[in-house]
Structure 1
Amino acid sequence: MRKNRIKKIALWAIGIIVVLIIVSGVLFFAFRNSILQKAITKVSGKMNTEYNSTFTVKEASFHGLSGIEMKEIVLAPKNADTLLSVKELKTSINLMHLLTGDIQLGILEMKNGFIQLVKNENGKNFDAFLKKKNKDEEEDNTDGPDYASRAYRLLNKALNLVPTDMVLTNLNLRLDDMGRKVTLHLKELKLADKQLESTIGVTAKDIAQNWKVKGFADPRNKQADLDFFNTDGTQIQIPYLNERYGLTSGFDAIHLNLDDIDMSLGKLHIDGYASIKNFMINHKRIANQDVIIDNARFDYRFLLGSDFIALDSTSTMQLNKIKVHPFLKYSVEEDTIYEMKARIPKMAAQDFIVSLPKGLFTNFEGMEAEGSFSYNLDFLYNKNKPKELVFDSSLKKDGFKIIKYGAADLAKLNTAFTYRAIDNGRIQRAIPLTVDNPYYTPMEQISPFLRKAVLTCEDPSFFSHSGFINEAFKQSIIKNIKTRKFSRGASTISMQLVKNVFLTREKTLSRKLEEILLVYILENNRIASKERMLEVYFNIIEWGPDVYGIGEASSYYFQKSPSQLTLDECIYLASIIPRPKGFMWQFNDEGKLKPFAVKHNDYIKKLMLRRGLVTAEDTIAQTGQIDVTGRARSRIKIKEANPFENDTTGVKDFFMNLSKEIF
């Protein structure tokens, strides 16, 4: 009896729901055009009050139960260029989803229209739509950010607005940024039976191309597999970036794949891959020539939870033959934590060398190696505990050996060679590192004080590290994160040596990456001894304007040989290595070191004492002042002495009276 009663109640409930749906449908059908007009009026009012814009639709009506037709749709900010204009639009809406508040488009036909983004001396025509949220909207959710749920809702809404059948004709996206203009003309786009195809005409300064997008697209099942290429088979040129940022870029083709978007157990999974062929980029901050990547692929798996966003370690980034397994995570569960890991599985060293992007590692072109290696990187930064930063970088070799060098022949450090510095892009005079050069100074002829002072200032652990100092990198990273800029480096003498002998002074990503790899090869393959590296370093670095090597520097400042330098003179020379051309600003108009310079050098002296590099006896008669007697003195602005200053003999008065008599 009880079961029958429950069944009856359930049937009555279902019946009532069906009746309500039918009645709602009838009422909606009867008043649908009125409801549509009210909806347009509501949108128009919101555009006016919240965005200071005018939204108008000349004609709007329902056709059938779910079809909607609109004509002359215009969105125009007041006192600015029109943002959107569409002549004709036809669409259909899934009524069941509409009743639940989830708008889902069935079909869409749109033609003859444009969206234009304009920035000129009067401002931006889209500025009102970028306004910040108010304070109430920005208040923290007591339940946490819930990244997974928010992202899933946004993705669902976005994909539901993509219709299952679509035809777009003669639509334009225009960009005008202070006269820098780009137009994307969508000649036609068709989506039918889950197959998408479109042709886009692209015009900009010096660019006129026709791009093609073709492939599979299923917005309801959240899947896509698309190819993006140029119709004539030439490389796609990316517009605007060159005019705006001086960056030139292009590629042959891009393949985009979205395999799955799944929400389960409170976590959002997004899986797929993207690949690109013959990607080219050129910018003065990257390299002084085109950088080309033949093939690259990114197999991704993004994970989002309630309090974290992550790129899973099962993801793979492939650059030619190089495969990297990355892991990235941003978490706010307890503290705000940034985490990164990267792993390169064991691979042949030669495969790595030939896979490096062309133009980015020019000094490695032609290099040959044998053996293999693997690499691991661990990085973790806690915003609330910055001093606990984790930075571990390790590379394991198996029979790794360089058998042929490229343009940078590291073995020449062991030979007599001629060094030419590059200053502001200009090659400077030759500095022979041979006995024929009277200024060339072997290590045993350099004052031990200088060696110790330079190592103290520049690289205290030079003889124990392998080219890099992990702790220095950590402190550099912490400092740069806090200042939000590259305000501190972590350069070692090994890095300075490689930069000076084998690389240019250009401040590019290319030079920095080459520097890191060359230093690693130099230090970890024992190509040159530490003593030889330091000897070359002392004989090539700049110690003043057009002053290279310690032999010339000793003469330039003190008219001495390097073996005769005092402790104070050595500490002074070590102190000017970072900025040798500006040495004269350390002196006052009497030719004496200014108080700040004396204080700095005294600090270095005491540091050397604490480390046992010098003794108390070594500091006797070392006051911190120096006497510049060489050619460098001519660059110091010394006030001419007044011969009558402090005169007590009456000579000054005699000449003053004599001048009055004459004139």
Structure 2
Amino acid sequence: MRTGKQKIILAVNTIFVLFAVVIITFYVFRDAVLKQTVAKVSHEMETEYNSTFLVKKAAFDGLSGLSLTDISIIPKNADTLFKIQKLKTSINLWRLITGDLQLGTLEIKNGFVQLVKKGKVTNYDAFLKKDNQEVTSDEKKHYARSTYRLISKALNLVPTDMILDNLSFRINDNGKKATINFQKLRLVNKQLETSIKVQTNTLSQRWKIKGFADPRNKKADIRFVNMDSGAIKMPYLDERFNLKSSFDSIRLNIQNIDKDGEELHIDGFMAIANLKINHPKIASKDVILRNARFDYRFLLGSEFISIDSSSTVELNKIKFHPYAAYETEKDTIYKLKISIPKMNAQDFISSLPDGLFTNFQGMKATGTFDYKLNFAFNKNKPNQLVFDSKLKKENLKITKYGEANLNKLNGEFVYRALIKNVLQRPVLVGSANPNYTPLDQISPYLRKSVLTTEDPSFFSHHGFINEAFKQSIIKNIKTKKFSRGASTISMQLVKNAFLSREKTVSRKLEEILLVYILENNRIVSKERMLEVYFNIIEWGPNVYGIGEASQFYFQKTPSELSLNECLYLARIIPSPKKFMYQFNDQGMLKDFAVKQESFLTNIMLRRGLLTAEDTIYKSLPILISGPAKSFIKFKVQDSTQIKVDSLAVDDEFDL
């Protein structure tokens, strides 16, 4: 009877014998298998992708090597997608037998992959269609398992030793062209070295990628730099998306990819130096970030994907810990948390990216602060949105203002609206301007109407209304566009007095920070802010301030305005240049405008801002008597009818 040790030896010997049989069998029949494989791929390309797959010569090289020449994929009636003159590779036979393809070495000479779009026709559409293979619900949900499997397969296709010479990746998008040519790529003993030439319609550069790469152990540390002087400019994006971007260097480090039970951990860091971005939706100037680093820890489970809170983002001297998650266990939930540990206010200001906060340049501050943001959105229960923003400050004080001197609101200054980058006529905000109106000389009906429509809690909030932000976010997510803002009078004042009207990320971020400083440092009283607001906002074409507006529409002073006139002026603030569309061809308010007026009146009555006595004369129509009347399209009465009416009057008098 055999002992346990003898059984183990016998089992091992049996495995080796079987492996040897498989290897011998494979070696004997491998040419037939290779020919059959090429035919199968060719048939699949023809039937599934409407493309021709060609290989001039395919042969084995040694026991595990494979050599192919003149390989190409040509979609029907389209440009060649893929072509390589010479390809040599070796595979791990044992992994192949167990059903897993793993490349050992790879050599490619003279080839290209090109994506071509002519009009709406491309040479790659057929390869973008969705895989119809059914996937069970469990597989769909298990993000850790599926991601780890995908990463492993991808890295197994990266050889441990690689030589590429003259391999190009080309894009031709209706004449917008970009070519990235790997003139040389070497991966030997886990060391990566490349020489890359980039050519577009607008630039020509030479790049280099170098560093450490170990695909089998899932580790890498590589740098992306320019071989020539100057920054690396990203190709194609400028022509395709009007996005100009460049950087001095990028470093990508992957320290660990590990599946521990049901969780997948991916750890490492990314760093970029002197990132420059220019896009009209971001800012009117170049945005420059000198140094940025992201120490990341991604966690994936069966029903969640997240950036762990142990991750750290550094933007110059600003350092914070982000947490982001996508969860699908019960509902689809998006989460975001940001924590900025205690830091010096001046370090924060000096770390802001150049070009993104131009009004903060030159600003000085003392003190410290820390900040926390908590955001959560349940796709199935949108009204339960969580938005909690908290800033804790210690001795925070602005000692010197930058471009936007908020102190100017306390005295006389000249206001000039900026519309489409064109400065409008100057408006003096002060008593020397005959149209300037102090707050106590403005009809209380107008003050109450404007506060009701624009910012009911103006005198109690500190620049922002969290609930308004929440409702704005909910609606914007539901409509999948920016369809609602959450602008307070403080925000409108800052936007008008200090910022342009451009719709950019830069302008919105500056608005938020300036409002916070204005409201939380007691720079200007609420009454003064409201008075300036009434005297600078646009109330019609080339009409600025309530003094001009009351004359433009009603030939009155602001103190003489009736309730109906005040309701009208409050309602047109969002679109003052379109006021004429409120009226019909008889010069009377249209039905929708009358309904809006009634709605606003009812709100003010419910809030106790109006009494029944205030509305005694509300039935009187709005009569536009000032210069605004010339903007309204009145119906021209038929002259024949006028003559007939005149004769009828004469006959009546004859009687």
Q: Which amino acid aligns with 2:544?
A: Y
2:242 corresponds to which of 243, 246, 258: 246
Q: Deviations over 1:160-179 (max 9, x none)?
A: 11111111011111111101
User: Which residue in the other structure is 1:27 paired with?
Assistant: 25
Q: Deviations over 1:67-119 (max 9, x none)?
A: 11111111111111111111111111111100111111111111011111111
Answer yes or no: is 1:428 the counterpart of 2:424: yes
1:650 Cα deviation (Å)? 7.9
Q: Distance in 2 between matches of 1:649 and 1:461?
A: 55
Q: Which amino acid aligns with 1:53?
A: S
Q: Distance in 2 between matches of 1:340 and 1:426?
A: 39
1:14 Cα deviation (Å)? 3.3
1:247 Cα deviation (Å)? 1.2
Q: Distance in 1 between matches of 2:278 and 2:646?
A: 75
User: Which residue in the other structure is 1:132 paired with?
Assistant: 130
User: Which residue in the other structure is 1:446 paired with?
Assistant: 442
Residues 44-53 or 121-130, more deviating: 121-130
Q: Distance in 2 between matches of 1:122 and 1:252?
A: 36
User: Which residue in the other structure is 2:99 paired with?
Assistant: 101
User: Which residue in the other structure is 2:205 paired with?
Assistant: 209
1:103-502 to 2 correspondence within 5 Å?
103-121=101-119, 123-134=121-132, 137=134, 140-142=136-138, 145-502=141-498
Q: Distance in 2 between matches of 1:650 and 1:169?
A: 96
User: Which residue in the other structure is 1:80 paired with?
Assistant: 78
User: Which residue in the other structure is 2:615 paired with?
Assistant: 619
User: Which residue in the other structure is 1:37 paired with?
Assistant: 35
User: Which residue in the other structure is 2:530 paired with?
Assistant: 534
1:644 Cα deviation (Å)? 8.1
1:617 Cα deviation (Å)? 0.8
1:637-652 to 2 correspondence within 5 Å?
637-640=633-636, 651-652=647-648
1:422 Cα deviation (Å)? 1.7
Contact kept, 8 Å, 1:144 with 1:306, in 2: the verdict is no
Q: Distance in 1 between matches of 2:426 and 2:62?
A: 87
Q: Distance in 1 between matches of 2:249 and 2:394?
A: 37
Structure 1 counterpart SS, 2:424: strand
Q: Deviations over 1:535-573 (max 9, x none)?
A: 000000011111111111111111111111111111110
Q: Which amino acid aligns with 1:300?
A: Y
Contact kept, 8 Å, 1:323 with 1:344, in 2: the verdict is yes
Q: Distance in 1 between matches of 2:633 and 2:171?
A: 56
Q: Deviations over 1:188-234 (max 9, x none)?
A: 10011110000000011121111001100100000000111111232
> CA separation of 1:230/1:473 partners in 2, compared to 1, >3 Å: closer, same or farther?
same
Q: Distance in 1 between matches of 2:15 and 2:512?
A: 70
Q: Distance in 2 between matches of 1:314 and 1:92?
A: 41
Calculate percent identity across the aligned residue pairs. Answer: 60
Answer yes or no: is 1:14 the counterpart of 2:12: yes
Structure 2 counterpart SS, 1:429: coil
User: Which residue in the other structure is 1:594 paired with?
Assistant: 590
Structure 1 counterpart SS, 2:539: strand
Q: Deviations over 1:485-515 (max 9, x none)?
A: 1111111100000000001111111111110
1:61 Cα deviation (Å)? 1.2
User: Which residue in the other structure is 1:659 paired with?
Assistant: none
User: Which residue in the other structure is 1:50 paired with?
Assistant: 48
Q: Deviations over 1:38-60 (max 9, x none)?
A: 11111111111111111111111
1:6 Cα deviation (Å)? 5.2
TM-score, length of structure 2 as denominator length? 0.97
Q: Distance in 2 between matches of 1:508 and 1:83?
A: 39
Structure 2 counterpart SS, 1:292: strand
Q: Distance in 1 between matches of 2:643 and 2:227?
A: 92
Q: Which amino acid aligns with 1:70?
A: L
> CA separation of 1:463/1:624 partners in 2, compared to 1, >3 Å: closer, same or farther?
farther
Contact kept, 8 Å, 1:117 with 1:126, in 2: the verdict is yes
1:133 Cα deviation (Å)? 2.9
Q: Distance in 2 between matches of 1:483 and 1:87?
A: 51
Structure 2 counterpart SS, 1:613: coil
Contact kept, 8 Å, 1:598 with 1:624, in 2: the verdict is no
Contact kept, 8 Å, 2:170 with 2:180, in 1: the verdict is yes
* Total equivalences in the alignment: 651
User: Which residue in the other structure is 1:658 paired with?
Assistant: none
Q: Distance in 2 between matches of 1:649 and 1:189?
A: 94
TM-score, length of structure 1 as denominator length? 0.96
> CA separation of 1:170/1:65 partners in 2, compared to 1, >3 Å: closer, same or farther?
same
Q: Which amino acid aligns with 1:350?
A: Q
Contact kept, 8 Å, 1:598 with 1:625, in 2: the verdict is no
Q: Which amino acid aligns with 1:625?
A: P
1:576 corresponds to which of 561, 572, 575: 572
Q: Distance in 2 between matches of 1:424 and 1:142?
A: 53
Q: Distance in 2 between matches of 1:342 and 1:234?
A: 35
Structure 2 counterpart SS, 1:406: coil
> CA separation of 1:582/1:140 partners in 2, compared to 1, >3 Å: closer, same or farther?
farther
Q: Distance in 2 between matches of 1:127 and 1:640?
A: 59
Q: Which amino acid aligns with 1:570?
A: C
Q: Deviations over 1:131-180 (max 9, x none)?
A: 1233x53x652465211111101100110111111110111111111011
> CA separation of 1:488/1:122 partners in 2, compared to 1, >3 Å: closer, same or farther?
closer
Contact kept, 8 Å, 1:644 with 1:652, in 2: the verdict is no
> CA separation of 1:149/1:563 partners in 2, compared to 1, >3 Å: closer, same or farther?
same
1:246 Cα deviation (Å)? 1.1
Q: Which amino acid aligns with 2:322?
A: P
Q: Deviations over 1:411-435 (max 9, x none)?
A: 1111111111122322111111121
Q: Deviations over 1:581-629 (max 9, x none)?
A: 1111111111111111111001101100000001111111211631111
1:654 Cα deviation (Å)? 8.0
Q: Distance in 2 between matches of 1:460 and 1:312?
A: 40
Q: Distance in 2 between matches of 1:512 and 1:611?
A: 32
Residues 562-571 or 622-631, more deviating: 622-631
Q: Deviations over 1:270-305 (max 9, x none)?
A: 111110111101111111111111000011111111
2:556 corresponds to which of 554, 560, 579: 560
Contact kept, 8 Å, 1:307 with 1:333, in 2: the verdict is yes
Contact kept, 8 Å, 2:411 with 2:430, in 1: the verdict is no
Residue segments in structure 2 that go unaligned for 5+ positions in a row: none
User: Which residue in the other structure is 2:519 paired with?
Assistant: 523
Q: Distance in 1 between matches of 2:166 and 2:207?
A: 15
Contact kept, 8 Å, 1:380 with 1:389, in 2: the verdict is yes
1:646 Cα deviation (Å)? 9.5
Q: Distance in 2 between matches of 1:197 and 1:191?
A: 7
Structure 1 counterpart SS, 2:216: coil
User: Which residue in the other structure is 2:604 paired with?
Assistant: 608
